[in-house]
């Protein structure tokens, strides 16, 4: 498996870890940063900044998990990567979920029940799916919302060719057995290249 394929596998594997993690931080420093809690009125004019921070967190999560899974695949193959992802992805998400942010992955067909979408997420996933079916490039699909004291951001994850190894309709029997052992309620199979795999979902607490 080449590096490009490994990257795609890692990206799709993000959906296999628990749904979200949060960590509240108190800031004693007078110096502000994009990660610090924003006053609600200020946040209304700083949505661009919040979206940039969300994109940065997605990139950080993807890069760390990519390195972790590439190492696992190179050492013991895809079956081992399933176990590593289940163990390490939640820890990576927890590390990055700080300063009022939470990081999650969700889908209309989840591998891990903890990733099930809430009402807002489900609405956005359906909208993403509709836009993809209409020919909109998945890379352009994202949405943000600022209401009820929080900022929310979702970014679509398409189904890549290598994703079909774990999420398609012809998964290797040995790999499928490993997946089912770790995820007995797995629904994330039967995908095609035309399908939306899922989305990153981030939330930022905003002080009123």
- Most confident segment among 1-10, 108-117, 157-166: 108-117
Structure tokens at 119: 């009402």
Task: Put the strands of the sheet holding 150-158 in their side by side order.
Answer: 21-22, 101-106, 196-205, 150-158, 142-147
Q: Tell me the C-alpha to C-alpha distance, in Å, between residue 78 and each of 115, 120, 148.
A: 21, 33, 42
* Contact (Cβ atoms closer than 8 angstroms) between residue 36 and residue 43: no
- Does position 13 have pLDDT exceeding 80, yes or no? no
Name the DSSP letter for residue 160. Answer: P
Give the pTM.
0.75
More confident residue, 30 or 132: 132
More confident residue, 113 or 5: 113
**Other Cβ atoms closer than 10 A to 123:** 13
Lowest mean pLDDT among 6-10, 127-131, 154-158: 6-10
Q: How far apart are CA 191 and CA 195, in angstroms?
A: 6
Model confidence pLDDT, tens digit, residues 47-102? 889 999 999 999 999 888 888 888 888 888 888 878 887 888 888 888 999 889 99
Q: Tell me the C-alpha to C-alpha distance, in Å, between residue 108 and each of 71, 139, 172.
A: 29, 18, 23
Q: Is 120 left (phi over 0), alpha (psi -120 to 50) or beta?
A: alpha
Name the DSSP letter for residue 159. Answer: P
Q: How far apart are CA 168 and CA 159, in angstroms?
A: 9
What per-residue string of b and e applies to 84-101 under the rule 16 or more CB within 10 Å gives b? bbbebbbebbbebbbbbb
């Amino acid at each position: 498996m080449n590096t490009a394929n490994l990257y795609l596998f890692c990206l799709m594997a993000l959906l296999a870890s628990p749904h979200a993690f949060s960590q509240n931080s108190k800031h004693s420093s007078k110096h502000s940063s994009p990660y610090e809690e924003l006053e609600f009125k200020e946040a209304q004019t700083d949505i661009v900044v919040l979206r940039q921070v969300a994109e940065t967190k997605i990139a950080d999560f993807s890069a760390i998990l990519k390195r972790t899974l590439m190492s696992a695949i190179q050492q013991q193959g895809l079956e081992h990567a399933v176990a590593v992802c289940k163990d390490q992805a939640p820890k990576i998400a927890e590390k990055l979920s700080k300063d009022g942010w939470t990081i999650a992955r969700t889908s209309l067909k989840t591998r891990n029940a903890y990733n099930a979408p809430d009402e807002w997420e489900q609405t956005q996933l359906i909208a993403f799916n509709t836009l993809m079916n209409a020919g909109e490039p998945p890379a352009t699909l994202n949405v943000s919302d600022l209401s009820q004291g929080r900022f929310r951001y979702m970014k679509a994850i398409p189904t890549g060719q290598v994703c079909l190894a774990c999420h398609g309709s012809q998964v290797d029997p040995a790999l499928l057995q490993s997946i089912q052992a770790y995820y007995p309620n797995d629904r994330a199979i039967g995908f095609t290249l035309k399908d939306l795999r899922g989305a990153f979902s981030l939330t930022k607490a905003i002080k009123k």
